[in-house]
Amino acid sequence: MVKLHPKTSFVGKKQMYLPYCHSTNDIASEIGHKGGFENGTIVFTDFQTAGRGQRGTVWQGDTGKNLMMSLLVDSSFLEVGKQFDLGICMAVSAIEALKRLGVENATIKWPNDVLLGTKKIAGILVENSIKGNKLHFSVLGIGINISQMEFIHPQATSLHKEGYSLINRNLLAETLCEEFETNFINLQNGISLEKKYLDNLLGLKKEQLFNIDDQLVIGKIRGIDNQGQLLLESNHPKKAFGIKEISFVFD
């Protein structure tokens, strides 16, 4: 039994620890659909048998070596078009939590991967339930690789593999809950997290190569628009890109 003690007022107050499960996002989503859930409920596990990543990918991890957690929040204050704000909120919170624990050089790769150098240490999967033109509830799943040393995907890495001494998983989870709560309250109060996001965004205003429609394009990231699309300065006629329309060459 693992119990977390975050210093928060609602995030992580209600928690469910499972030694293993199919996917913490699926479990949090089931709780959301039942109705009457406690805002800020967290579900976390040592091992997922069917962990899910963005765009239908699989998220795998060795037992007990990584943080795998989902937060269930009331997101009914957000319009459907603003759902990207939740990914920003989680990405910024992950960066801040890592900084508090001594990991200073993590960056966000648009839209919301967390990297050390060009390698991925954390991924975020946000799934929303919608009511009318507003969100209803959202599940924000995050996987942070802590001590796993071998990965199938060459771009994946862990904090320990990148040279950090072992970070306590529960402490990381608690710190993340605390940072997330602060940022989520700001979001609820209409305080933008965009500056924090851009301050930590990999490659902002730096010339780099992108893959657009199977062509290599040199461009500079200018920022994001209010739907979270990537704004690019380049010779390409299109200036704002959705997730399926552009990729980084080191992907």
Residues that bind ligand BTN (CB under 6 A): 23-25, 48, 51-54, 57, 59, 68-70, 113, 123-125, 141-143
Q: Considering the complex, state which of residue 128 and residue 186 has its C-beta at the smaller distance from ligand BTN.
A: 128
| Residue 185 CB contacts under 8 Å (≥ 6 apart), including other chains | none
Query: Distance between CA atoms of 35 and 58, rounded to whole angstroms?
Result: 28
Chain position whose Cβ is nearest to ligand BTN: 123
Q: Considering the complex, state which of residue 47 and residue 217 has its C-beta at the smaller distance from ligand BTN.
A: 47
* Cβ at position 160, least distance to ligand BTN in Å: 18
Q: Considering the complex, state which of residue 70 and residue 229 has its C-beta at the smaller distance from ligand BTN.
A: 70
Q: Where are the alpha helices (DSSP H) in the chain?
A: 24-34, 84-100, 169-188, 194-199
Rounded to a whole number, what is the largest CA-CA distance in the chain?
55
* Cβ at position 156, least distance to ligand BTN in Å: 9
111 prior amide bond cis, ω within 30: yes
How far is C-alpha 108 from the geometric centre of its chain's CA atoms? 9
* Cβ at position 108, least distance to ligand BTN in Å: 12
Q: Considering the complex, state which of residue 195 and residue 244 has its C-beta at the smaller distance from ligand BTN.
A: 244
Q: Considering the complex, state which of residue 49 and residue 192 has its C-beta at the smaller distance from ligand BTN.
A: 49
* Cβ at position 53, least distance to ligand BTN in Å: 3
How far is C-alpha 249 from the geometric centre of its chain's CA atoms? 21
* Cβ at position 122, least distance to ligand BTN in Å: 8
Q: Of 78, 8, 18, 1, whose CA–CA distance to 38 is shortest?
A: 8
SS3 139: strand
* Cβ at position 51, least distance to ligand BTN in Å: 4
Task: Report in angstroms the alpha-carbon separations of 167 from 189, 207, 232.
Answer: 32, 34, 36
Q: Considering the complex, state which of residue 109 and residue 220 has its C-beta at the smaller distance from ligand BTN.
A: 109
